[in-house]
Amino acid sequence: MSQRVLVTAGANGIGLAIAKAFAADGARVHIADINAEAVAAVTGAFENITGTVGDVSKPADVDALFEDIKKELGGLDVLVNNAGIAGPTAPVEDYDAAGWAAVVSVNLSGTFNVTQRAVPLLKQSEAASIITMSSLAGRFGYPNRVAYSTTKWGLVGFAKTLSMELGPFGITSNTIHPGAVDGPRIMSVFEGRAAASGRTVQEEIDNAMNNQSVKKFINPDDIAALAMFLAGPHARTISGQLFPIDGDSKAAQ
């Protein structure tokens, strides 16, 4: 029987790579995303990907999401908690309180909202998995990004607790910790750094690579492959673990 998969923030970036990988493997995938145009584009391009537009931090949107999941999938085998926002960049004493609240609301409360609703469905599966996307910042402190780092660390405790609670039901729970992921987003970061520092974009890239043993950006497809393995038959006893995929980075930068 094909897997039934929910990917939050599944219409772009890492989430889309994961959704496409599961779909290519024959899974029935449902994505949730706040970008209506992107959801329409993805669901229009893949017959085995359905979608819901909504914000995981809003309980009413999550209620609507799970009504759609019951209708489209009829159950759930895999939950990929990928939704998250970066928030402001500022030292703690200058950090915007509303920005802090927004990051906590999406990254932590949003993940809780979705997972709480998913668990009863996952318990009905014969081989269920929860994969939560943390970050390099979920292993190290991250100067000027206190809310992002704090929530990404918090997700580790969340996933570990899920592993302990849900293990008796055969449900695994792990976190993935990507480093700098290749794509337009990371390039815009380096462009911003270059504008602020007066260095070239390539100099900023080289500086970032000095932080890694393996001098490569992370391919989103590799993250997707790791997620598929963790949700697959050979990972049924792998749970409560952290999986960095960051070129052996030494810090969050």
Provide the mean pLDDT of the chain.
94
Shared-domain flag, residues 54 and 79: yes
Domain-located, residue 251:
no
Pairing of strands 4-8, 172-178: unpaired
Shared-domain flag, residues 146 and 203: no
- pLDDT at position 198 is 84
The pLDDT-based confidence of 177 (bands split at 50, 70, 90) is very high
Q: Considering 22, 66, 142, 148, which one is annotated as catalytic? A: 148
CB 199 within 8 A of CB 239: no
Shared-domain flag, residues 113 and 193: no
- Domain residues for the domain of 20 are 4-182+219-245
SS3 113: helix
CB 214 within 8 A of CB 148: no
User: pLDDT (tens digit, 9 = 90+) per residue, 186-235?
Assistant: 887 778 677 778 888 888 888 888 889 998 999 999 999 999 999 999 99
SS3 8: strand
Shared-domain flag, residues 88 and 204: no
Number of domains in the chain: 2
- pLDDT at position 182 is 85
Concatenating the DSSP letter of every residue in 127-182 gives: S-EEEEE--GGGTS--TTBHHHHHHHHHHHHHHHHHHHHHGGGT-EEEEEEE-SBS
Rg (CA), the chain: 18
- Tokens representing 109 are 């409360």
* 95 assigned to active site: no
